[in-house]
Amino acid sequence: MIEKITLHDSFAARQRIAGRIRTTPLVSSPSLSALVSADVSLKLEQTQITGSFKLRGATNAILSLSPEQKEAGVVGVSTGNHGRGLAYAAANAGVPCIICMSELVPQNKIDGIRSHGAEVRIVGRSQDDAQAEVDRLVADGRVMLPPFDHRDIIAGQSTVAHEILEQALDLDTVLVPVSGGGLISGVAMVMKVVKPSIRVIGISMERGAAMHDCQRAGKPIFVEELPTLADSLGGGIGLNNTYTFGMVRDLVDDLILVTEEEIAEAIRHAYWQERQVIEGSGSVGIAALLAGKIKNSGHCVSLITGQNIDMALHKRLIDGENVDAAANTSRD
């Protein structure tokens, strides 16, 4: 029987990673509040040290390893942000690290991982292809730290929920970008224990929304990975998913999809109205708000998960380039 991840695990993770990650700001958004006639705030997790929330889970997982595991080194598969967080946390702990990625990952995210001293291996055209190389390295003795379906990763990601609860009074709704579900599982677990009335809504892109499609199917299934402006939300949830499928099913109130056009508009809105540079995956909550897809939100916090966008792509979007063209080149 799989042991549940609990509030105790979340508190332990918060204590473990204290001083190694940033407490990120929560800011009010007058522009979004006026547009949707609700009180909207943004949790700026893109200001985390490595540019995304992923550092929380990676740091907790690295610090939870045994001395023998640290000596053996770690390996992970990533669409970018997990790899960067894992590379940074491993380097700080003196742990060897290899990150396996598909050809669909943008070059800026590959460069960011390498800048922290990790080895990067590019394998195939999907997360599943990259995972095959991870499995080979694990057979050779490395310790795999996956991007989402892992107790210590989920507990680490859940620590952002404590900050939100401390920063946002009378919270009603939280919007969380969803890929494999590690972040939303941790956030929902904390929110539903502390204040069950808080709605936790997951947001994904229409192109390759793995968790959404798996929940509709009632089980983990293969979902084709497609080019998208929200590239960090790409990849499947794993056919042998242990934690996140069930946690999302049991704890998350709704899953909503946004289009590429809506993502592009959210990136532009963040830049011009919020003075924030954010990647497509981090913008999906704003996209859902702008598109009128969040009803009766009350006091709403949209979690902005990352800033690691290719700046050439960002400029093209801000300048109004065709969205489909931008999406299809965002991983070159």
pLDDT of residue 234: 87
Query: Is the per-residue pLDDT at 331 higher than 50?
Result: no
Domain match, 234 and 86 both: no
Tally the domains of the chain: 2
Domain match, 212 and 230 both: yes
How many alpha carbons lie under 13 Å from residue 118 in its C-beta half-sphere?
A: 34
Domain match, 184 and 305 both: yes
The model scores a pTM over 0.85: yes
Give me the percent of the chain exceeding a pLDDT of 70: 97
Residue 1, in any domain of the structure: no
Beta-carbon contacts of 329 under 8 Å, excluding residues fewer than 6 positions away, are 313
What's the average model confidence in pLDDT over 54-74? 97
Vertex 231 angle, CA 50 and 86, to 5°: 30
Domain holding 65: CATH number? 3.40.50.1100
Query: Is the per-residue pLDDT at 330 higher than 50?
Result: no
Query: Is the per-residue pLDDT at 101 higher than 60?
Result: yes
pLDDT confidence bin for 321, thresholds 50/70/90: confident
Query: Is the per-residue pLDDT at 123 higher than 60?
Result: yes
Mean predicted lDDT score pLDDT of the chain = 94
Domain match, 246 and 278 both: yes
Q: Which amino acid is at 107?
A: Q
Query: Is the per-residue pLDDT at 313 higher than 50?
Result: yes
Tokens of 305: 């998960």
What's the average model confidence in pLDDT over 36-49? 97
Domain holding 108, by residue range, is 54-144
Residue 216, in any domain of the structure: yes
DSSP-based three-state secondary structure for 303: strand
Domain match, 115 and 30 both: no
pLDDT of residue 329: 43
Q: Which amino acid is at 332?
A: D
Q: Per residue in 199-250, pLDDT tens?
A: 999 999 999 999 999 999 999 999 998 999 999 998 889 999 999 999 999 9
Tokens of 201: 């809504």
Last residue of a domain, one of 144, 178, 205: 144
